[in-house]
Amino acid sequence: MHVFLYPILSADSAEKSRNIWCAKDPAAAWQAHMLKDVTPEAASCDVGALERNLALGRKHRITGTPTVIFSDGSRVPGAIPAAEVEKRFAALAGTK
């Protein structure tokens, strides 16, 4: 599973994504923000990766987050329960 910062939800999405991406520990900053609603500390660095994420999202017409794209190309816009994700993973594993 790959998770990409995709700053399109609000005016401050780009700032939050930059601060997470540029944090000393980006994974910890992302988890704190997503799980505990902790605003990431201000940080700066090269954000070319975020710009590439935006271009990739535009190319594939991703207009919301989360969007889950499975290995068979199926797409689920919006949040779905973990059990549904696991069910889809299992179904895909059975097709190999």
57 contact partners, CB below 8 Å, separation of at least 6: 4, 6, 8
pLDDT tens-digit readout, 61-90: 999 999 999 999 999 999 999 999 999 999
8 contact partners, CB below 8 Å, separation of at least 6: 54, 57, 63, 64, 65
Asked if pLDDT for residue 11 goes beyond 90, the answer is: no
Q: What is the pLDDT of residue 96?
A: 61
Q: What is the pLDDT of residue 1?
A: 81
What residue ranges do the domains of the chain occupy? Answer: 1-62, 66-96
